[in-house]
Copies of this chain bind each other. A is one copy, B any other.
Amino acid sequence: MERIPILKMGDLLLVTIQVDMHDQLAMTLQEDLTERISRTGAHGVLIDISAVEVVDSFIGRMIANIAAMARILDAQTVLVGMQPAVAITLVELGLTLPGVRTALNVERGMALLQAEVRSSSPVVASEADGDAEG
């Protein structure tokens, strides 16, 4: 059965989209990804679309859905590697990607997510301090 692989790298999950998405594949990806976030406790999802030459409303909605699902499971989604022509088409078609941030490439996306995870972690650190004092 055709599946899009999900690679775990530390606290992040990486998905590279290389093939034409269709309904069943998109559903499988959503199921696999949510299951994987839940199992690994990942805080970030990187979706690389550097091989994608056409982002239509179907793919746009799929990405927005994935981001929404991930957010509920406490993971941020960053879309990386968008080709310039795709960005042009998205704007011309008036397509938006609600709730999805973008970064130029995987490295910058990882940096963005890691900075977010770090900035949201002090709560845990101060709780630990409290325990040490108590």
Known: A18-B16, A18-B19, A19-B18. A3 touches B106 (CB 8 A): no
Verify B51–A8 contact, CB threshold 8 A. no
Q: Quick check: is A110 within 8 A (CB to CB) of the other chain?
A: yes
CB pair B10–A107 under 8 Å, yes or no, is yes
- Give how many copies assemble into the complex: 2
| CB within 8 Å of B: which A1-47 residues | 3-5, 7-10, 14, 16, 18-19
- The complex places the Cα of A132 from the Cα of B57 at a distance, in Å, of 59
Residue in contact with A19 in the complex, picked from B3, B9, B19, B48, CB distance below 8 Å: B19
Chain A residues within 8 Å of B, Cβ to Cβ: 3-5, 7-10, 14, 16, 18-19, 48, 50-51, 81, 105-107, 110
Give 11 new A-B contacts, CB below 8 A, not counting A9-B106, A16-B18: A3-B51, A4-B51, A5-B48, A7-B50, A7-B81, A7-B106, A8-B105, A8-B106, A16-B16, A18-B18, A18-B19
